[in-house]
Amino acid sequence: MFSDKTILVTGGTGSFGKRFTRIVLEKYQPQKLIIFSRDELKQFEMRADFPEDAYPNIRYFLGDVRDKERLQRAFDGVDIVVHAAALKQVPAAEYNPLEAIRTNIMGAANVIDAAIDRGVERVIALSTDKAANPINLYGATKLCSDKLFIAANSYVGGHRTRFSVVRYGNVVGSRGSVIPFFQKMKATGKVPITDERMTRFWITLEQGVEFVLECLDLMEGGEIFVPKIPSMSIMDLARAIAPDCEYEFVGIRPGEKLHEVLVPEDDARRTLEFDNFFVIQPEFAFWNIEGTAYTNGKQCEDGFRFSSDSNTRWLSTEDLHSMIG
């Protein structure tokens, strides 16, 4: 479905965007792949890996999702949008709330309007486990963003645009991840740990990109896709990365949870289970899975909860080292 299509990635110079670019250019033949981001230095650095003379179908487009007019220009002729732009650092969002709101919520609204106005076929937005039952501002803004993208399917009118969301957990090795932080602190002989009871979901960049590509193919518009990914406790993570270090317990940071949730209990009644993922269905009167890829989904039991502490899949030390590479 990506052959001869024009694809645009917001936040395209981030960890996800760069891996998405590599995989799409290696496996598919898009007519054009547009990297949309606000950081000229990151675009300059990305050009070293993906120069336009070696990749004639790549384009670099400076812009901010806060700027609706710029999005209108960027989306002209675009078939598929992957919305990865966000302010995602939890403490930074707690202390700079309006900045997170302007990018994560108002930016999402701008992406939606520009996509509808420009006739984009498919838009998939990246979410986070922190958007499920959020307790921090980052999670709350991403929950708002998810709601906006799902609801957008109700007011596209006669336009062809469809919107869906992909929600997954922590990405191994991404910028801001605890894994590179632990690797850095290992050299000091002392590793700070927030709380020994903490658990998190984990996924690799490669797995995240492949899942997004799969969901772009499956999407009908209105779904939240959730991959079945493993958990790991923070103590097992620390022992795997820095086994000989001293562990210093520093307490939970503002806005952090002990455990993360990808499918809350209140969404279970609308959630279908498949071999490798869940689909949280929208509450649209017109939503109908008959004749789609979802007809064989298993309805989750009432009260079901996909949480990092009650997960049935857990990473071993060997699994983590394999994921880190």
What residues are annotated to the active site?
A: 130
CA dist 106 and 285 (Å) reads: 26
**Where does 63-136 have alpha helices with state H?**
68-74, 90-95, 97-100, 107-117
Tell me how far CA of residue 38 lies from CA of 7, 215, 244, in angstroms.
18, 26, 41
Nearest to 164 by CA among 302, 293, 295: 293
Strand order in the sheet with 231-233: 170-171, 199-203, 231-233
Containing 309, the helix (H) or strand (E) segment is none
**Could you give the dihedral angle defined by the CA atoms of residues 277, 213, 14 and 114, in that order, rounded to the nearest 10 degrees?**
-110
Beta strand 306-307 with 231-233: parallel, antiparallel or unpaired? unpaired
Question: Nearest Cα to 10, choosing from 41, 38, 31, 42?
Answer: 38
Report which of 245, 236, 252 is spatially closest to residue 184, judged by C-alpha positions: 245
